[in-house]
A and B are shown apart, each in its own frame.
Chain A
Amino acid sequence: MTLTLTHGFGPRLTVERHRLDNGLEVLLVADHSAPVLAYQTWFRVGSRHERPGQTGIAHLFEHLMFNQTETLAAGEFDRLLESVGGETNAATWVDWTYYKNSVPASQLELVVRLEAERMHRLTLELEQVESEREVVLNERRFRVDDDVEGFLAEELFRLAFSRHTYHHPTLGWRQDVEGISPADAVSFYRQFYAPNNATVVLVGDFEPARALELLGRRYGKIAPAEIVFPPIPEEPPQTAERRATYPKPVVADRALFAWKSPAQTDPDWVPLLVANEILTGGPSARLYRELVVVREAAASVHGSLAPFHDPGLLEIYAGMKRGHTAAEAEAVIDAASARLAAEPLAAEELIKAKNRLETELWSQLDTADGKAESLGHYQITTGDSRRLFEVARRVDEVTAEDVARVAAKYLVREGRSIVIAEPSGEADDEDEDGAEEEPS
């Protein structure tokens, strides 16, 4: 185990970065404010690394990681953690997959043993693959098929990316998920689940020397693998606006407007984060105020900037009120984008966005889990956990000119994609007087 780096984490904590001989990276933050631990294992594999025909395998495999190992019966992993009050879960996204455990501080040894075990001794049975496939297809019905915003988000990425693997959803296309075999899952495990493709993040009430000893003992003998990532096609520049409309059982238009945005490590990412905050952050933000408050055209407006390894999207969602259309939101967004690019930002408005982002940053670090998630994301996506606080510093340095420059560069019509769910006619058949029908 080699200490490779230390860096600050907020006003009073420190991150230690270590590396085992087999390539496993370890981030430690000892925080004795509560008797809890967040133990997370981040793998550098997500849906970005999937091949055509096997979309959804990273996410399906995440589900399979909760099955039996060579020494643990099916269900024992969860049962042991639950018996001490632990919670365990996992998440997959475009650039990563991570496994999280929240346990009382006294249970470090248990969680290290269990996580090290499933990193290299997982066993898969056909019956479990079939059962989890059904679970994943049900998750898809929940998040996409019957959820308008989830459906629009999936269609947006399909429309906006023609070649890059961000085109397909992390949940995978249904027919691909149905076709993944147990052999495919085993192959995926051998290809990507190895210590040299992982980072363990441990935050909470522990002693670093003891943690390092346990980690070295449990993980030290796991062999590294030759990690070969499939080539990821570069997305060609978008030269014309793209749009699609879908009939859905909604009472009014629901719309997503999105522009191509830079990777999270790009110098323009932080100024664009500030631009998004000015447009959609809080009730006094420009778009919220114009669409929800002044015009009363929308019920909700919110925005997000993709924190991706490769260039992603800046998205703005508008849920329109009855009698109002997405076209009204589009006109307001067009005007707001043009104004942001052309008119100098008032100093007060820039400070407002920075204050809101600072509160948001600290709020994300409230719990041990939140601290570990932020560190893990930055380490895997950008290659350096220090960028978490570098972003905070760079937000503070953003100028009005920076915001205008990135607005002019990215919020352009030819780089935009729009997806709209329109009322299909089956939803808005309520009685004219709005009277409620009492169930009999």
Chain B
Amino acid sequence: MKVVVEEQHDLPLVEVQVVSRCGPAADPEGQEGLARHAFELLRRGAGGRSRAELDAAFDQLGAQIETVPSHDGVGMSATCLERNLEAVLALLGDVVLRPHLEEDEHLRLLREDLAGLDEIRDDDASLCSRFFDRLALAGGPYGRSSLGSDASLGAIGRADSAAWAEQAMTSDNLLVGLAGHVDPARAAELAAKTFAALPAGGVPPPSPLWTPSARARLIFLVDKPERAQSQILIGHPAPPPAHQDFLALHVACTAFGGTFTSRLMREVRVKRGWSYGVGFRAARSRGGHSFRLRVFPAAEQTPDTLALVLGMWEEVVTSGLSDEEVEHARSYLEGSWAFEIDTPGERLDRRVETELLGLPADHVATYLPRLRAVDATTVNAALRRHWRPSEATVVCTATAAEMRPRVEPLGLGDIDVVDYMSY
């Protein structure tokens, strides 16, 4: 079991992260959502406490519980008062080592999972992202939702969750992180004591590398009634963070759409006022995730916005970014690095990410020198190798009957309509 500790004593808080390397990307075909469901089921009764008793015990200690978001791992963080650290760790030990995994709680949790999908359907930005991952990354491990679908959740049984837990909760698959008001020696001792009974070994899932195939641009209208605004994601698969071009691509994304004065922001928001926000980034996962251009214009401005941003993306691939744009983005990333490591929690997140993304151990320590070596030549060469706007998937939440006749004449790509309740 790997234990990472980030010490800082200015607040009386400690954050504890417990993360398994068996993340949603390794969910079996047809059982998407298994890792998230099974990990949550661990918390629904453990160590002789019922779900209600366990909830009350964490709350009694003032612990704030959150899910650790990752495609390549699954876990939870508990932020607690330092005086309650040992008690919170004891509860986490029960969750990891002594879960009840009862049928009643499994079925109850499945019903909660399904209701959670309904709540996503209320939120257009989340809805758009969910459909984008499915449609733009179809056929790959990250095209399958970590939350599952109505159908895939229905295919998960209690025994599947138990089998997942047996594989995921082992010494080689578990990461434990502590950050805050705790010294490293005590943290290591507490972690070792808490998880001493963890089964040895374990096999982490294979790195989910995949090679997406090229295809023509497709536009999907996610049809929802009464939309005044469109949530739009445009993109295609991206290489993994360990790829030699990834840092140059990160600079490229920042210059094109990663800051308030970036090219996209100037043209879409500042000059035209067409969208409250617009951005371009490379989402990260161990096997490579996606480039994603996000913009959300009014329904009536959607066709013009689509034509503008797709045209800008094509233009930057043809003409490249200027030396000044690249230098500005590089300089911004260099200065803003301080905010990626300014708290013990942030530093812990960087170290857990490094593990889950399969990056070299010195990835964080060497970030600034590697960034300083990036220049306009390497950035433009990288973006020309990897950006393919003509193969992009466009996902747009809109009222399709009104939007389709406006977008179709632009000839931006074939259009398909999907019902927002269908996924």
| Chain A contact residues, CB within 8 Å of chain B | 10-13, 31, 33-36, 66, 75, 78-79, 82-88, 102-105, 107, 130-135, 137-139, 141-142, 145-149, 248-252, 254, 281-285, 289, 292-293, 296, 299-300, 319, 321-322, 348, 351-352, 354-360, 362-363, 365-368, 424, 426-430, 434-437, 439-440
Contact = CB atoms under 8 A, between A and B. Distances in A.
B367 interface: no
A138 B11 contact: no
Given A352-B59, A426-B225, 5 more contacts: A79-B261, A251-B122, A284-B58, A358-B62, A434-B150
Contacts of A36: 338-339, 342
Nearest to A141: B229
Nearest to A88: B260
Contacts of B201: none
B386 interface: no
A362 B228 contact: no
A355 B274 contact: no
Interface string B258-273: 0111000010011111
Nearest to A440: B416
11 contacts: A85-B334, A85-B338, A105-B338, A138-B229, A138-B297, A146-B229, A249-B224, A355-B81, A359-B64, A359-B81, A439-B416
B366 interface: no
B345 interface: yes
A134 B63 contact: no
Interface in B364-423: 416, 418-419, 421-423
A83 B10 contact: no
Given A87-B336, A133-B273, A362 B13 contact: yes
Interface string B118-139: 1101111000000000010000
Nearest to B51: A293
A351 B421 contact: no
Interface of B: 8, 10-13, 51-52, 55-56, 58-65, 79-81, 84, 108, 111-112, 115-116, 118-119, 121-124, 135, 149-151, 154, 220, 224-229, 259-261, 266, 269-276, 296-298, 328, 331-339, 341-343, 345, 416, 418-419, 421-423
B59 A296 contact: no
Contact of A78 (B84, B115, B260): B260
Contacts of A75: 261, 266, 270
A138 B298 contact: yes
A84 to B, nearest CB: 5
B122 A250 contact: yes
Nearest to B121: A251
A366 B266 contact: no
A-B pairs with lowest CB-CB distance, top 7: A85-B335, A134-B273, A355-B62, A299-B115, A85-B336, A34-B342, A141-B229
B121 A13 contact: no
Nearest to B262: A82
Nearest to A13: B10
Contacts of A66: 260
A131 B334 contact: no
Contact of B59 (A10, A284, A363, A426): A284
Contacts of B274: 134, 138
Nearest to A348: B60
Given A10-B11, A83-B328, A85-B332, A34 B338 contact: yes
A300 B117 CA distance: 12
Contacts of B115: 299, 321-322
B328 to A, nearest CB: 6
A424 B225 contact: yes
B112 A299 contact: yes
Contact of B124 (A34, A146, A283, A284): A146
Contacts of A436: 149-151, 422-423
Contacts of B296: 138, 142
